[in-house]
Amino acid sequence: MTRLPDRTERQLGLVIDLDTCVGCHACVISCKGWNTENYGAPLSDQQPYGADPSGTFLNRVHSYEVTPLVESAMAQLVHFPKSCLHCEDAPCVTVCPTGASYKRVEDGIVLVNETDCIGCGLCAWACPYGARELDAAAGVMKKCTLCIDRIYNENLPEEDRLPACVRTCPAGARHFGDFSDPDSHVSRLTAERGGMDLMPEQGTKPVNKYLPPRPKDQLESQLGVLAPLLAPVAEDSRGFLGWLDRTLDKI
Amino acid sequence: MAHRQPQLDLSPPVSDEVRKTTCYMCACRCGINVHMKDGKVAYIEGNRDHPVNKGVLCAKGSAGIMQHNAPSRLRAPLKRVGPRGSGEFEEITWDEALQIATGWLAPIRKTNPEKLAFFTGRDQSQSFTSFWAQNFGTPNYAAHGGFCSVNMAAAGIYTMGGAFWEFGQPDWDHTKLFLLFGVAEDHDSNPIKMGIGKIKARGARIIGVNPIRTGYNAVADDWVGITPGTDGLFILALVHELMKAGKIDLDYLARYTNAPCLVIEAPGSDRHGLLLRDEAGKELVIDTATGDLAPFDAPGICPDLSGSFVLNGQTCRTVMHRMAETYLDPQFSADAVAERCGIPATKIRAVAAEIARIAFDEAVEIQQEWTDFRGERHATMKGRPVSFHAMRGISAHANGFQTCRALHVLQILLGTVEVPGGFRFKPPYPKPATAHPKPHAGMNPCAPLNGPHLGFVQGPEDLALKDDGTPARIDKAFTWENPMSAHGLMHMVISNAHAGDPYKIDTLFLYMANMSWNSSMNTGGVMKMLTDTDENGDYLIPRIIYSDAYSSEMVAYADLVLPDTTYLERHDCISLLDRPICEADTAADAIRWPVADPDRDVRGFQSVLCDLGARLGLPGFTNEDGSAKYADYADYMVNHERRKGIGPLAGWRAGDAADAPEGSGRGESRPDQLQRYIDNGGFWIKHVPEPARYYKPWNSAYQDWAVETGFYDSPSPYLFQLYVEPLRRFQLAAEGHGDRQPPDRLRARIKAAMDPLPIWQDTDQTGNDGFTVHALTQRPMAMYHSWGTQNAWLRQIHGHNPLYVPTKLMREHGLTDGDWARVTSPHGAITVPVMEMAALNDNTVWTWNAIGKRKGAWALETDAPEATRGFLLNHLIHELLPERGDGQRWANSDPITGQAAWFDLKVRLEKTTAPAESQPAFAPMRSPVGTGPETLAWKTAR
Amino acid sequence: MHPAPSVILFTTCSGLGFGLLVWLGIGFPAVTGRVAFVFFAIAYLLAAGGLIASTFHLGRPERALKAFTQWHTSWLSREAWCAVAALTLMALYGAGLVFLGTAWPVVGLAGALASLATVFTTSMIYTQLKTVPRWHTVLTPLLFLAISVSGGALMAGQTGLAPWLLLLAGIVQVAVWLRGDGAFDASGTTLASATGLGEIGTVRAFESPHTGTNYLLREFVHVIGRKHARKLRMISLTLMTVLPVILLLLPFGHVLAALAVLSHLAGVAVSRWLFFAEAEHVVGLYYGKR
Ligand SMILES: Nc1nc2c(c(=O)[nH]1)N[C@H]1C(S)=C(S)[C@@H](COP(=O)(O)OP(=O)(O)OC[C@H]3O[C@@H](n4cnc5c(=O)[nH]c(N)nc54)[C@H](O)[C@@H]3O)O[C@H]1N2
Ligand SMILES: Nc1nc2c(c(=O)[nH]1)N[C@H]1C(S)=C(S)[C@@H](COP(=O)(O)OP(=O)(O)OC[C@H]3O[C@@H](n4cnc5c(=O)[nH]c(N)nc54)[C@H](O)[C@@H]3O)O[C@H]1N2
Ligand code: SF4
Ligand code: SF4
Ligand code: SF4
Ligand code: SF4
Ligand code: SF4
Ligand SMILES: [Mo]
């Protein structure tokens, strides 16, 4: 049902740490594997061994080069995973003509009920983040489910009741939790590290937050403070050996 | 209005069964949970209990399901029917295949076993394959280490009894500053990522030294975009600045390293530059308490770092003294190296100062008592929380051995190896070079080789030379050209065999190495060598047997193909005798077991070797009555013994009490051993006891534990070798001392290169005039060499590769994204698409490794982007350096270890019009397995 | 956006068809019997044909009926209802004209309004999308309505009003283009806001997540050259407005009228092609494309 709930009981989502993501694509493939086998239609691939391979993925990792405005500073590279942000004001839901797209009232997860979806693609048009992909084989819209079939799944050990991408991320750059709880791990990370919204001007109020990269290449500018640490004890090997003797005597 | 939404089953069944085994998508060997539905592989995730990955899994590991289902899997043994390289085969039975192989190999063994060259590429069962080769009796065996990272391994083992690579890891829990040199991905893929995540979460800092700022280097807090090949200089500049400031750990140096050992100064004598030793061969130091000489390990002594001693008229000064003289020279100052390294001197000093700050102002201390090998008790474990890690970026250069040595020397000067916060060994390391075997090449018809093939030479007497001084091995390992080639030189086998130099061989037997493509330098040349014929029309390399699991480029060049199973269909052994999977706090080994049944006529290669070994009557594979000793590899894994009570698997050996799950690691084999591994999740671990966790080489608790676990037969503490005496022994030979003498043409090179203290030399630039741009490759994290390409999921991520060009060079050559450039080296040319990158050393171009594919390979359509737009740099790299008019072709490798110098490549760029496809393009090979399906929607249970 | 032929066909034809129904509904031309049948047949062919064409781009056309359920939130759902209402009312009205020779003005008016509403709801499907700044403007419904009504007038043979309406449509079209060219920049969505990395410096898309293509790139990223677009705009304007107006000003003849209609139809099709092809979805930013 395409009307958004007035409020959701919880706000489950992800924090993605751009300072830590090494761009390994582990989350991409783990997501592909889990969601091919589980919720709804498998994520299909066209021309998987051919000239123009292309398939459905619910999570993709981009990379961006950032050139600081200060000319002397060096360019940086930021790996940037992106999946559905489970927006509070999800435009993908309200455009859906069939009610297939909906936002769950319990936890705010935005889902597609695949048996209702006609594959019109409108929700993907409405999503600014490119978080929805129409599966070419199944003809229905696929999107991140926040691994709804994992997070409450009593057939999984409790520690595994979290999204596949979070469980697999080798660098620990992905965190899952409830943003409506200010004390949750994700809320605290967001507060401490200045977690941000993507495209805030689109008014979607994303639940997922991104932690910005920490400032880089600061060392040289600290040389003033660091320099005394390199105060010479000797200028050449003779001086050094003298220093060595003096120092060793003291030990 | 009430909110209506569908009712979901929030607890759907996940799978019928979880089978726990070990990943094979790279050499990291993580534990995996394979979820099975209806008897099929449904989903793969990381095993949380596993010591390596603790639950996480990389992209390749998660994509294992697509590897297992790949249409490129071979289906049955193949006999070549068309010309080599064409890909024309007929499928034959295993009986026929094994008969052919036996027919080829048995006569060789009877007459001249060296006519077999058995090289095993990316082998995870080297202790087994080498055992087989040893039993066959050929001296010609090695795996791929020689072209991979032998510089790293050898430099580490000669210097400190272990290296980065798989031998050790930073103390992720305590380190405060982590410096990473030349790493894109590494073998320790998941642990490094986990470690980086861990230290980031703690707010510790990372410095990345790499010409390219991607991956780990992209998340580094500071980036040092060094000019390739100059790390040695940079590191020695750090050493210079730190020594000058007195920021070195004198206590550590005196106690645990050979810094206080005495170097004999007797110019002209055959002892000049050797270490002073007592009759028992132990290094002597001056005891500060008495001023007398004492063996380094004498109880209670306190070695003097700065003294000198005159003995029999020969002055002996400490290694520390030597180092001061060498490294305080202004040639190593930050200012002197800055330009060559492409790093401002201020930055070099800032890095040195930060290292000093963390090491000396932020030292850590663990409240844990321990006793050292001299019997001294220490109330705590102190550590300097600066840690280092490095890989092929510094080792795959022709000056890599000494550069890796320099990095170890830097760590050791800081006192940060095997201490809290520093670099830690993983059992069975530490293990010094002297505790490793020496190379063996003693061969007799119909008999096993006289010992293990590979090892660590201590001097010229250990070289693998025949009586006439010619190389005993086809790859010329352990010769004057590369005396310390501890891993062999697989990359020279094909060209040497083709040239009949040092001798001709009959059968080349390869296992999982794509030598006709991404694994070789000079790819086009290698393809030609494999197909060249003599005047009779016979192939110059008469016979090639190859085992692969997939339709790789190399398959096309084999005469006989032995198809392997996939990793989910066979037994395998990740053994402590091999490249182990231990972590710093645990000894561990693991198995693979058939979690799925093969649906084709394929067999695990190791089982095939057991069978072939029995057919050939190899002693290690036959019972007294001539019957096969091992039914298959699983049987070998359980019942083979290397030494009494030591077998391939250390877990659950008989003699261990049932209530001691960790066991001793030693004891008789037990029939239910594999089931116990399976019940335990596919692996076995044994924890290093608390008091033994650090200072392992000198910690008596660790030494005792290592003996109990079977790593050594008696405690073997040792000193770190800042000064590596074996190198000096080779120099002495080059100076004319001793009976074994190098050829004259190599004397100068040996003298210069084999300095017992790390030095930096520019790599050989012969023939590089006009080629000024460095060209590198990097491992993509989501691809494994050539074999990720057959994976439907992974190939969408890396289906073709551009050449990344720094902004400055893009402008200079008028290039924009999507343009094509012709890239030339002294050896060849490629034409490829380019893309701009700013976060890149100004004079370096690079691309992802092994994305380019030959048409027809891997069951891909011939117009696959890997073949039409993808490319390899390998066409530009030659295994030999350009001619330099001395009548010799010098190898493109490290003069000490023979390590292939992939990253010494220099090129020139020019813009060109886009060709129809990237160049060079080769004729398609016929796929022996057809091509894959049009669409894929893999779901086991619908 | 990818200019999908089915969607171009749908909006072009159904717009014209509903435009004609609007005129028919209010009694221009006041036809009955056979003539009415022909007019209505053409209108239904265009309107319903367009609607059917639109189902071609559905992944699951067999479930198309489900699209009626969400009228309270979804413009697409509302469009479905309006279309059905318009087609039903006008069918009733048309049946009266054709078979009974009687006009039920209330039904006709209601049908005309529903037809207008259909065109409006169609346009709102695009207008509502903040993600496509070029569409996110009141000019979009204006354009759709103007084209529909003017085309309808042309079809309905309203030679008096049609030129003026066509001119109006032309003006709106030009306004749409002029505004559209600056819309993306004015939207404030940039690669910097998309990544949140703008604070650090200039952001540039480096490696794409996949070397191959994907649904998003196929659907949302369509790059056309500026020059090419300008040429197409001229063609579109000429065919859609200028030529039909000139033809209408010439002495009336069936051939000329048919030519005017065809020209207009072709012009609208080009305009629609541009409507999609020139529209830039913000998601392209993530791929370094617009
Ligand atoms: N330009 C450039 N070239 C390089 C390097 C570089 O940095 N730059 N790096 C070099 C290095 S370090 C290495 S290690 C090599 C690696 O290069 P290769 O050793 O060629 O590695 P792979 O491509 O992994 O190929 C190994 C072969 O093993 C096969 N295989 C996979 N699984 C199995 C199995 O289960 N059983 C059997 N029997 N076969 C299997 C694959 O199909 C493949 O044909 O590349 C080298 N080449
Ligand atoms: N995903 C994945 N993992 C793998 C593999 C794979 O194919 N895919 N292959 C495995 C194998 S066989 C190996 S050997 C390991 C290798 O693991 P790595 O050592 O990480 O190997 P490379 O990708 O060759 O990375 C070399 C790095 O060194 C940098 N470099 C090159 N020259 C210099 C230099 O002069 N100085 C410095 N400081 N840096 C330099 C390059 O920019 C690059 O980042 O990875 C293993 N792990
Ligand atoms: S990210 Fe896109 S798909 Fe997800 S809720 Fe927001 S708008 Fe909808
Ligand atoms: S594609 Fe499916 S989920 Fe998306 S708007 Fe259309 S019907 Fe709704
Ligand atoms: S939460 Fe689940 S569905 Fe969403 S990106 Fe992660 S793995 Fe994919
Ligand atoms: S798995 Fe983690 S580190 Fe790897 S790309 Fe995804 S978020 Fe980044
Ligand atoms: S790092 Fe990845 S590919 Fe390698 S063993 Fe681990 S999971 Fe498998
Ligand atoms: Mo390697």
pLDDT in tens, B34-44: 999 999 999 99
Q: Which residue of A has its CA nearest to B345?
A: A220
Distances (CA, A) of A21 to A17, A83, B5, B847, C286: 6, 14, 35, 21, 17
Yes or no, beta carbons of A63 and C207 under 8 Å apart: yes
What was the pLDDT predicted at A69? Answer: 87
What was the pLDDT predicted at C117? Answer: 97
In this prediction, residues C2-18 reach a mean pLDDT of 91
Q: Which residues of C touch A28 (CB under 8 A)?
A: 209
Query: What are B483-506's pLDDT values in tens digits?
Result: 999 999 999 999 999 999 999 999
- State which residues have CB under 5 angstroms from ligand 8, the bound ion: B 148
DSSP classification of residue B700: H
Q: Which two tokens stand for residue C217?
A: 């790139």
Yes or no, beta carbons of A240 and B324 under 8 Å apart: yes
The answer to whether B853 contacts chain C (CB < 8 Å) is: no
Q: Which residue has the tokens 């034959």?
A: B92
What is residue B612's three-state secondary structure? helix
- Which of A66, A133, A200 shows the shortest C-beta gap to C214? A133
In this prediction, residues A96-125 reach a mean pLDDT of 96
What is residue B41's three-state secondary structure? strand
Best mutation target, C200, C204, C214, to test chain A (most A CBs within 10 A): C200
In this prediction, residues B133-149 reach a mean pLDDT of 95
Contact B682, B22 (CB under 8 A): yes
Measured from the CB, is residue A111 less than 6 Å from ligand 5?
no
Query: What are A150-204's pLDDT values in tens digits?
Result: 999 999 999 999 999 999 999 999 999 999 999 999 999 999 999 999 999 999 9
pLDDT exceeds 70 at position B942: no
Yes or no, beta carbons of C286 and A129 under 8 Å apart: yes
Give the distance, in angstroms, between the CA of residue B330 and the centroid of all CA atoms in the same chain.
35
CA-wise closest residue to A84 among A193, A201, A207, A166: A207
C-alpha to C-alpha distance for B16 and B38, rounded to whole angstroms: 7
The amino acid sitting at B706 is A
- Indicate which residue's Cα is closest to atom 4 of ligand 7: B26
CA-wise closest residue to A226 among C98, B347, B217: B347
Interface size between A and C, measured as CB pairs under 8 A: 203
C-alpha to C-alpha distance for B220 and B214, rounded to whole angstroms: 9
Could you tell me what percent of chain B has a pLDDT over 90? 92
Phi-psi region of B293 (alpha: psi -120 to 50; beta: other; left: phi over 0): beta
- Which of B5, B65, B223 shows the shortest C-beta gap to A1? B5
Q: Which residue has the tokens 């859906």?
A: A96
A138 CA: distance to closest CA in chain C (Å): 7
What was the pLDDT predicted at C167? Answer: 96
C-alpha to C-alpha distance for C68 and A85, rounded to whole angstroms: 28
What was the pLDDT predicted at B654? Answer: 76
Distances (CA, A) of B786 to B84, B519, B635, B795, B858: 20, 9, 32, 11, 9
Query: What are B193-230's pLDDT values in tens digits?
Result: 999 999 999 999 999 999 999 999 999 999 999 999 99
- Indicate which residue's Cα is closest to atom 4 of ligand 6: A24
What was the pLDDT predicted at A56? Answer: 98
C-alpha to C-alpha distance for B292 and B304, rounded to whole angstroms: 10
Cβ partners under 8 Å of residue B643, min gap 6: none
Hey, which residues does A65 pair with through a beta bridge?
A: A77, C204
The answer to whether A70 contacts chain B (CB < 8 Å) is: no
Q: Which residue has the tokens 């695990």?
A: B604
End-to-end alpha-carbon separation of chain A, Å?
77
C-alpha to C-alpha distance for B37 and A147, rounded to whole angstroms: 19
DSSP classification of residue C102: -
Best mutation target, C54, C57, C60, to test chain A (most A CBs within 10 A): C60
The answer to whether A158 contacts chain B (CB < 8 Å) is: no
What is residue B49's three-state secondary structure? coil
Q: Which residues of B touch A111 (CB under 8 A)?
A: 8
- Indicate which residue's Cα is closest to atom 24 of ligand 1: B785
Q: Which ligand is nearest to the CA of A165?
A: 5
CA-wise closest residue to B763 among B228, B36, B269, B373: B228
Contact map slice: C 190-209 vs B, CB within 8 A? 204, 206, 209
Q: Which residues of B touch A78 (CB under 8 A)?
A: 218
Query: What are B711-768's pLDDT values in tens digits?
Result: 988 999 999 999 999 999 999 999 999 999 999 999 999 999 999 999 999 998 888 9
What was the pLDDT predicted at B382? Answer: 96
Element holding B195 (H helix, E strand): helix B189-201
| Average pLDDT of chain B, as a whole number | 95
C-alpha to C-alpha distance for C122 and C120, rounded to whole angstroms: 5
Contact map slice: A 190-249 vs B, CB within 8 A? 213-214, 216-220, 222-223, 226-227, 229-237, 240-241, 243-245, 247-248
Q: Are strands A12-17 and A209-211 parallel, antiparallel or unpaired?
A: parallel
Higher-pLDDT residue of B685 and B882 is B685
Number of neighbouring beta carbons within 10 Å of residue B95: 9
Contact B134, B453 (CB under 8 A): yes
Kindly give the number of the ligand 3 atom that is closest to the alpha carbon of A130.
2
- Indicate which residue's Cα is closest to atom 5 of ligand 7: B29
The answer to whether B799 contacts chain C (CB < 8 Å) is: yes
Side-chain half-sphere CA neighbours of B38 within 13 A = 5
C-alpha to C-alpha distance for B304 and B317, rounded to whole angstroms: 11
A58 CA: distance to closest CA in chain B (Å): 13
* Crossing angle between the packed helical segments C105-127 and C139-155, to the nearest 10 degrees: 140
Q: Which two tokens stand for residue C243?
A: 């030529």
The answer to whether C188 contacts chain B (CB < 8 Å) is: no
Contact map slice: A 49-108 vs C, CB within 8 A? 52-57, 60-69, 73, 75-78, 80, 82, 91, 94-100
Q: Which residues of B touch A26 (CB under 8 A)?
A: 56-59, 61-62, 781-782
| Average pLDDT of chain C, as a whole number | 94
Cβ partners under 8 Å of residue C198, min gap 6: C190, C191, C192
Side-chain half-sphere CA neighbours of C83 within 13 A = 29
Could you tell me what percent of chain B has a pLDDT over 70? 99
Side-chain half-sphere CA neighbours of B613 within 13 A = 31
Q: Which two tokens stand for residue B907?
A: 């090129």
What is residue B734's three-state secondary structure? helix
In this prediction, residues B509-531 reach a mean pLDDT of 96
Q: Which residue has the tokens 């030597």?
A: B322
Environment class of residue B299 by beta-carbon count within 10 Å: exposed (0-12), middle (13-18) or buried (19+)?
Answer: exposed
How sure is the predictor about A76, in pLDDT bands with cuts at 50, 70 and 90?
A: very high
User: pTM of the predicted model, to two decimals?
Assistant: 0.97
pLDDT exceeds 90 at position B885: no
pLDDT exceeds 70 at position B168: yes
DSSP classification of residue B176: S
Beta strands in B339-402 (DSSP E): 364-366, 370-371, 377-378, 381-383, 386-390
Number of neighbouring beta carbons within 10 Å of residue B269: 13
Q: Which residues of C touch A76 (CB under 8 A)?
A: 200-201
Yes or no, beta carbons of B5 and A47 under 8 Å apart: no
Q: Which residue of A has its CA nearest to B55?
A: A168
What was the pLDDT predicted at B1? Answer: 47
What was the pLDDT predicted at B887? Answer: 76
What is residue B487's three-state secondary structure? coil
C-alpha to C-alpha distance for C154 and B605, rounded to whole angstroms: 79
How sure is the predictor about B4, in pLDDT bands with cuts at 50, 70 and 90?
A: confident
Measured in Å, residue B122 CA sits from the centre of ligand 1 at: 6
Contact B513, B493 (CB under 8 A): no
In this prediction, residues A214-240 reach a mean pLDDT of 92
C-alpha to C-alpha distance for B419 and B251, rounded to whole angstroms: 13
Query: What are B612-632's pLDDT values in tens digits?
Result: 999 999 999 999 999 999 999
Q: Which two tokens stand for residue B239?
A: 């050493």
Distances (CA, A) of B261 to A51, B322, B402, B724: 64, 11, 21, 11
C-alpha to C-alpha distance for B244 and A237, rounded to whole angstroms: 9
Yes or no, beta carbons of A19 and B219 under 8 Å apart: yes
pLDDT exceeds 90 at position B314: no
Chains linked to C by 3 or more Cβ pairs within 8 Å = A, B
Could you tell me what percent of chain C has a pLDDT over 70? 100
- Indicate which residue's Cα is closest to atom 1 of ligand 1: B874
C-alpha to C-alpha distance for C193 and B880, rounded to whole angstroms: 51
DSSP classification of residue A216: -
In this prediction, residues C71-95 reach a mean pLDDT of 94
Environment class of residue B268 by beta-carbon count within 10 Å: exposed (0-12), middle (13-18) or buried (19+)?
Answer: exposed
pLDDT exceeds 70 at position B2: no
- Indicate which residue's Cα is closest to atom 35 of ligand 2: B228
pLDDT exceeds 90 at position B555: yes
C-alpha to C-alpha distance for A85 and C184, rounded to whole angstroms: 23
Q: Which residues of B touch A21 (CB under 8 A)?
A: 219
Q: What is the CA radius of gyration of chain B?
A: 27
B780 CA: distance to closest CA in chain C (Å): 12
